[in-house]
Amino acid sequence: MPNLSTLPDDLLISICQLLQLPDLFALRLCSRSLATCIQCYASSIAPLVARNTFPGHTLLLRPPSPPPDANSGGTGYDLRWLRSLFPKYLASVLVERRGRKLFYFDFPAENPLGDDARKIVQRGVCVLAGLSRIAQAVHNLSDADLPASIAPVLATDSSWAEDPELELVLRRESLVMERRLGYVQALSWDDLLGYRLALRMLGRIVEIPKPRSFISRVVTSNLYFNWGEGGEAVTEGISWFNWFVMHYGPDILWQQWWCLEGQTVVGAALGAWQARSLSSTRGQIWIEKEAAYQVHRAIEKQYRCDERSGGVPFNSFRVDEEVFKQYMAFRMGVLTPKQPPGMLYRDPHYAIVFPD
């Protein structure tokens, strides 16, 4: 029976050029011959797939640097470049949506003003992806494959070890924490800086109801897993939302911001929180939050050990002088548009809004 693998290469290339990123990488997993074909002709496939996936993104789709080997004859358009567009896109959304809160400037996605900031935040998105992969790998293990040891920092309540469900949670989160701590030790200072910035931006994108009194502040804090006013609890690593973000990683942001699946982040977060809010599993919230906090604390400690950690190096974000003049003209009211030119992510589906 004829199938994709039996088609001639030129027809397969034409088919692949009509796909988008997730579809192309899914197609590679169908057979070895398809994966080989896509790999061999990536220089012809990658530019069109990227354009199909991110229409209107000029800066995001700038041609990559050619490979250093001049004899290779390559263009730089390969699967590695194509895969790098995932974190680049998410970083672009984060910087545009909340860049001004941290850098005092708007960084429109189509303005080179934010190139350096986006590069740093992109590294943070990749770190978040690594933390999430560790969690997914451990959660795919069977109960029998989990080590019997429990991290002392998580075993603060002896009664939890007597509960079969919580005992498994302790063992699983202990292994996740151990592997994440080893992963963090291998990160560079730029990776740590990028993660901290990405986390702060995400904490400011999320919108929760503002408490109008002391009582409502307490209720809101409990309802939304100790979010804290202005998202500072996430920045400090003491919110259960930190565990949620580390566990689900950038994929949950991709589903909402690119797949346009509605308030995906809110739905997943509230669903997981409500399932854990039952009296029988409430201890799981503390265990997960504490495990995530230990990883966050290790990141902060390692980041501050470097002499460059006195603050975000704003002065290193250099931009073309003419671009900066145009931006300042907008800020001073000289330009007429209501928003800086080049903004792509102002639609409501880019907001993460928790209901009242």
What is the tens place of the pLDDT at every residue in 201-210? 888 788 776 6
69 and 133 part of one domain: no
Percent of the chain exceeding pLDDT 70 equals: 74
Full residue range of the structural domain in which residue 171 is found: 87-304
Q: Are residues 163 and 74 in the same domain?
A: no
Residue 103 lies in a domain: yes
Return the H-helix or E-strand segment holding 353.
Answer: strand 352-353
The answer to whether residue 16 is domain-embedded is: yes
pLDDT band at 211 (very low <50, low <70, confident <90, very high): low
Distances (CA, A) of 129 to 109, 251, 273: 22, 8, 21
Q: Are 42 and 72 in contact (CB under 8 A)?
A: no
Average the pLDDT over 160-185 and give the result.
Answer: 89
The reply to whether 182 and 266 lie within a common domain is yes
175 and 42 belong to one structural domain: no
- Residues with Cβ < 8 Å from 158, sequence gap 6 or more? none
Q: Return the pLDDT at 163.
A: 79
Q: What is the pLDDT, as a whole number, of residue 315?
A: 41
Does residue 242 register a pLDDT over 80? Answer: yes
Would you say residue 278 has pLDDT above 90?
A: no
Clarify whether residues 256 and 107 are in a common domain: yes
Q: Is the pLDDT of residue 250 over 90?
A: yes
Q: Pick the closest to residue 137 from 182, 84, 179 (CA basis).
A: 179
Task: Write down which residue in 40, 61, 86 finishes a domain.
Answer: 86
Average pLDDT over residues 185-200: 92
Residue bearing the bigger pLDDT, 153 or 81 = 81
In this prediction, residue 314 carries a pLDDT of 41
Identify the three-state secondary structure at position 355: coil
Please give the pLDDT value at position 132: 97
pLDDT (tens digit per residue) in 224-236: 567 665 567 788 8
Domain count, the chain: 2
Q: What is the pLDDT of residues 118-131, one digit of tens each?
A: 999 999 999 999 99
Question: Of 283, 304, 325, at which residue does a domain stop?
Answer: 304
Residue with tokens 């080893």, as numbered in its chain:
182
Residue 143 lies in a domain: yes
pLDDT of residue 216: 47
Residues 45 and 180 placed together within one structural domain of the fold: no
For 282-337, what is each residue's pLDDT tens digit?
A: 788 888 999 999 999 999 999 888 666 555 444 444 445 555 565 566 555 555 44
- Tell me, yes or no, whether 68 and 119 share the same domain: no
Q: Give the chain's radius of gyration (CA, Å).
A: 23
Domain boundary among 48, 65, 86: 86
Q: Give pLDDT, residue 49.
A: 96
Predicted local confidence at residue 284, as pLDDT? 86
Same-domain pairing of 99 and 186: yes
Q: What is the mean pLDDT of the chain?
A: 80
Q: Is residue 275 part of a domain?
A: yes
User: Per residue in 84-106, pLDDT tens?
Assistant: 999 999 999 998 887 655 555 56
The answer to whether position 338 is within a domain reads: no
pLDDT at 142: 93
Beta strand ranges found along 77-231 (DSSP E): 206-207
Residue 50 in domain: yes
